[in-house]
Amino acid sequence: MSYSEMAQLDVLNVVRGIKTDADYMEFRNLLARYFADKAQKAIDAMWDSGEINEETIEEWGNTKMRTPYRRS
């Protein structure tokens, strides 16, 4: 069984225990904090390696990086 499959089973088991709005919000916030922490660690590693710097961050702040929506 892959790590992805094991993680999916773990998440399903946790979700089964959610019975209230408060539990749901706590679970949602936990996931958000987890992924925000992973993103912060990746950014810190890029900063430490010199891959990004203050100038890069300024450029990002002035750039529209959204993918344009296509009308169908």
Name the pTM for this structure.
0.69
Flag whether 50 is in a domain.
Answer: yes
Flag whether 13 is in a domain.
Answer: no
Predicted local confidence at residue 21, as pLDDT: 97
Predicted local confidence at residue 27, as pLDDT: 95
CA angle, residues 41, 45, 48, in degrees to nearest 5? 135
For residues 7 and 1, the answer to whether their CB atoms sit within 8 Å is: no
d(CA 51, CA 45): 9
Number of separate domains in the chain = 1
Flag whether 6 is in a domain.
Answer: no
Flag whether 31 is in a domain.
Answer: yes
For residues 53 and 47, the answer to whether their CB atoms sit within 8 Å is: yes
Predicted local confidence at residue 69, as pLDDT: 79
For residues 27 and 15, the answer to whether their CB atoms sit within 8 Å is: yes
pLDDT above 90 (res 64): no
Mean pLDDT of 22-50: 97
d(CA 39, CA 47): 12
Predicted local confidence at residue 58, as pLDDT: 92
Flag whether 3 is in a domain.
Answer: no
Mean pLDDT of 49-68: 88
pLDDT above 80 (res 45): yes
The whole domain housing 32 covers 19-59
